Amino acid sequence: MVKIAIIDDEEQARKELAENLEIYATEENVAFFVTMFSEPTTFLKEYDKQFDIIFLDVEMPDCNGIKLAKKIRKIDSQVIIVFVTNFGKYAIDGYEVDALDFIVKPVTYYGLKLKIKRAVERLGREDCLTIDVNAYDKFTRLMQKDIYFVEVREHGLFFHTTDGVVQAYGSLKKTEDLLDKKSFSRCNHCYLVNLRHIKSICGFDLTLSNGEVLQISRSKRKPFSEAVDEFVRSSF
């Protein structure tokens, strides 16, 4: 999940930006957790590297956004900063704090979309992907990176995750189509494996990072091995 902070003294500007982020998250199937701040001093007191992206208003009564960004950089050199401003004159100053981009007010979704895309890509899109599953009594959103493997059994799906097992309706084929094709592959007709969680492969035995051992079928051994090789190559 991508943790985002919005720092802006204008309530309407904060709401509009948050709404646009929600639209993007729905369209691109990523998970955002947004926290809004109206006062820079409050944000700075509470900040402890807990955010991935910060949308920062440049023109605020009590604090210039550029100066605040410099203070943030002393605490956190990695967080992505995107300035929101009524003026383009601050673009040069943004280089001093390694700002990813500038958004000019009033913020529109189509103007914002490319900026968010750049920020998410810098973070690593695979870490943001989600999947919504029908867990019988409710829909549950899972982070794809937290799924060890998906199992089909007794006409149901079992998502084995870092937080436990989630049982759901659906077919393995449809689930396979929804998950990131670079990161998931079938090792047999019952299991769809998250390749990032593979610890080792010995013969037809596949050991995952949680210690579980799955069987690779003869029919799936070649395509599964090719998927693993491609995943490893793309990781470097």
Which CATH number does 130-234 carry? Answer: 2.40.50.1020
pLDDT in tens, 205-229: 999 999 999 999 999 999 999 999 9
Class of domain 2-127: alpha beta
Q: How far apart are CA 6 and CA 119, in angstroms?
A: 14
Q: How far apart are CA 16 and CA 102, in angstroms?
A: 16
30 close to 129: Cβ distance less than 8 angstroms: yes
For residue 204, the model assigns a pLDDT of 96
The domain segmentation of the chain, as residue ranges, is: 2-127, 130-234
4 close to 21: Cβ distance less than 8 angstroms: yes
Query: For a pLDDT cut of 90, what percent of the chain falls above it?
Result: 48
Q: How far apart are CA 135 and CA 141, in angstroms?
A: 10
pLDDT in tens, 1-57: 789 999 999 999 999 999 999 999 989 888 899 999 999 888 998 888 889 899 998
Is the pLDDT score of 197 beyond 80? yes
pLDDT in tens, 99-140: 777 888 888 898 889 888 888 887 876 667 888 899 887 888
Roughly what angle, to the nearest 10 degrees, separates helices 109-123 and 11-28?
60
For residue 120, the model assigns a pLDDT of 84
Mean pLDDT value across the chain: 87
Segment 175-179 mean pLDDT:
94
If you search the block for the tokens 């992505």, which residue do you land on? 80
Peptide bond just before 223 cis, omega within 30 deg: no
Is the pLDDT score of 94 beyond 50? no
- Tell me if domain 2-127 and domain 130-234 are identical in fold: no
